[in-house]
Amino acid sequence: MYLDKQTAVGVIGAGTMGRGIAQIAAAYGHQVVLVESNPAIREDAEQFLQRILKRMEEKEKIGRGEANAILERIDFQSELSACEGAGLIIEAIFEDLPTKHKVFRELESIAGSRAILASNTSSLSITAIAGVCRLPERVLGAHFFNPAPLMPLVEIVPGLATSKQTIQLARNLINDWGKTTVLAKDTPGFIVNRVARPFYGEALRILEEGIADVATIDWAMKKIGGFRMGPFELMDLIGNDVNYKVTETVFEAFFYDPRYRPSFTQKRMVEAGRLGKKTEIGYYDYSFGAKNPEPVKDPELGQTVFTRILAMLINEAADAVFMNIASIEDVDMAMTKGVNYPKGLLAWADEMGLDKILGVLENLQSEYGEDRYRPCPLLKRMVRQGQTFYPPSN
Ligand code: NAI
């Protein structure tokens, strides 16, 4: 079996993610069936794609006439049965296991036995989704990032029963779409949503302890760290409700490992309805004419904040390698292509010196006595043996 431009692609759900995935597949040349059960959202998705594609044509990002050609390749439908004949079906419906089970059960009875079924889930287990399928070997995770047409990364996640052929075929095709794929083990948060937790969690902890305020932490991460956005700006953009939910899910899924414990500050923000940009108030005030606090531009304080958050991120990245979630290269690729980190965390660790990172973590652990700061055994072993993640360049 082979997947190429001639393969029909089904996308289930035309919300934030589904419409973007349908756009990618149709732009590549597939005939796409986009199934959305809510008529208002179906209508909205169609208008949204018309607008986006037209704008792309005006900006000469796609050729003249291409907007229409891409749209014509997308068939907006309301029933899953319209996916009959698709060689690849990507599900992007609500993040709810029983709802996904229902859809996968139905898809199995509609799709041909050779069709590949993918889920765009960001926090559910692929093995759990595939658990209700008769042919779990053809089910896998294909985790796109928002906005799907713009973010290059797709995490490919095999479940326990996924066949090598399914992984290969889906990965090759998604690579052909121009995406960067990384392979991640079916564990909570896969790579990005796991490794990125301290970017928010440690920033919140620093805030709660009163070491630095919101504006100063954001300033430190941008100015010293080179991150495009500070943690609080990013949480406001993602939505504090969404970010809190991911943290909560990852924490529960890791059997309450204290490393992933959610913060009261974030919980209170959600309770207060301060969800971020979408409610015009979060950590910052986005209402017209609002004045937000200035950062304390103290280089020493900035360095302390940055080093602490970075050390925690590197610890998490090292742990993902230690636990065989992904390769060194894929962990670094995931963070640069999925969430725009300025450097791969493990390459950054080499650059800063693993002994320095370990030292920061050991100091935190001894100061607080909390398991949250325990250094990854891989990091300890590598420092002991004088190793680096990548071979030295000269
Ligand atoms: P959304 O709520 O914007 O869209 C889901 C859509 O699926 C809705 O329009 C809903 O009407 C439709 N739907 C539900 N059941 C259906 C059914 N049986 N048949 C057809 N359509 C159905 O959700 P969003 O944000 O697009 O998320 C979708 C999936 O992608 C979730 O699993 C989520 O975890 C994942 N994801 C979301 C990201 C994000 O930033 N929003 C990023 C990466 C993954």
- Domain coordinates of the chain in residue numbers? 9-186, 193-386
Question: Quick check: 1 pLDDT over 90?
Answer: no
Q: How far apart are CA 187 and CA 274, in angstroms?
A: 30
Which numbered atom of ligand 1 lies nearest the CA of 146?
40
Q: Residue 394 has what pLDDT?
A: 62
**Topology (CATH) of 9-186:** Rossmann fold (3.40.50)
Q: How far apart are CA 201 and CA 244, in angstroms?
A: 10
**Options 2.60.40.10, 3.10.20.30, 1.10.287.110, 1.10.1040.50; CATH of 193-386:** 1.10.1040.50
Active-site annotation holder among 36, 143, 233, 243: 143
Length of the chain: 394
Which numbered atom of ligand 1 lies nearest the CA of 35?
20
Helices (H), the chain: 16-28, 39-58, 66-72, 97-110, 126-130, 164-176, 192-195, 197-208, 214-219, 231-238, 240-253, 264-271, 299-322, 328-338, 345-352, 354-368, 377-384
pTM attached to this predicted model: 0.95
Pocket test for ligand 1, best of 16, 125, 238 (most atoms within 8 A of CB): 16
Give the pLDDT band (50/70/90) at residue 2. confident
120 lines ligand 1 (CB under 6 A): yes
Pairing of strands 9-12, 88-91: parallel
Average of per-residue pLDDT across 207-229: 98
Active-site annotation holder among 119, 193, 240, 263: 193
Query: pLDDT tens for residues 67-95?
Result: 999 999 999 999 999 999 999 999 999 99
242 lines ligand 1 (CB under 6 A): no
Q: Residue 73 has what pLDDT?
A: 98
